[in-house]
Amino acid sequence: MNVGIFGGTFDPIHNAHLFVAESARRLEGLDRVLFVPTNTVHYRPAPEASAADRCAMIALAIASNDTFALDETDVRAGATGYTADLLPKIAAAYPGARLTFITGADSIASGAWTRFEEVLEALDAFVVAPRAGVSADAVERAACSVSSALRARVKMLDLPDLPESATLVRTLLSQRKSVRYLVPEPTWRYIVARDLYGLRHGDA
Ligand code: ATP
């Protein structure tokens, strides 16, 4: 079985996340893509929405795709938020599976990965979606820190740059602007129903 692991804060999930996950699934021949929200972040401000809300928004967004699943391992008590600690847990849940981690170019280029060699050792592939403003060189430089055998597991996905970000969604909501069609429709309904991200009855 080929399992894709898509980690992030998903604060909230947006359409580019779904596009990247589905494209990675098709390009890499994945049987399943796990969306793995994290709660303990080390390299950025804490998420604005609760873990329960972020999980609910993911579940709603992926419900129409049988190959997508929500994995709550990294929001459970005791989770460290480090991918190096997450991967053995996923491997134990899917014995014998080939594991592919999916990430955006901004994430790897930031160089903020802790125990990156250990992460790559636990994976069969680490695939990177391009992101506006992040050059392939920056990705290459970040991957340079590991041995060539491990670097061979890092691969750029041949995809277009997509402008969506959760920051953009949160910013628009804080300005009481619409995010409809930037996020999946059921996620948008959830945000409106719960007045998330400072929406406060605005016309989202
Ligand atoms: P934020 O704006 O809050 O930093 P984000 O939109 O980058 O959030 P995350 O939850 O941090 O979303 O992202 C999860 C993963 O999805 C990360 O690997 C990130 O790089 C990737 N990702 C998010 N948006 C895009 C995009 N537009 N194109 C490619 N990858 C993306």
Which domains does the chain show, CATH number per domain?
2-164 (3.40.50.620)
**Per-residue model confidence (pLDDT) at position 200:** 59
Across 81-99, average pLDDT: 96
Ligand 1 proximity of 11 Cβ (cutoff 6 Å): yes
Question: Given a cut of 60, is residue 202 above it in pLDDT?
Answer: no
**Closest ligand 1 atom to Cα of 167:** 2
**Per-residue model confidence (pLDDT) at position 44:** 77
Strand partners, 126: 101, 154
Structure tokens at 92: 């134990």
What does R_g of the chain's alpha carbons equal in angstroms? 17
Ligand 1 proximity of 21 Cβ (cutoff 6 Å): no
Q: Which residue has the higher pLDDT, 176 or 68?
A: 68
Ligand 1 proximity of 104 Cβ (cutoff 6 Å): yes
d(C-alpha 32, C-alpha 53), whole Å:
23
Structure tokens at 108: 């790897």
Percent of the chain at pLDDT above 70? 97
Ligand 1 proximity of 162 Cβ (cutoff 6 Å): yes
Across 101-108, average pLDDT: 93
Residue nearest to atom 15 of ligand 1 (CA): 8
Helix residue ranges per DSSP H, the chain: 15-28, 51-62, 83-93, 105-109, 116-121, 136-143, 148-151, 166-174, 185-194
Closest CA to 49 of 191, 180, 163, 165: 191
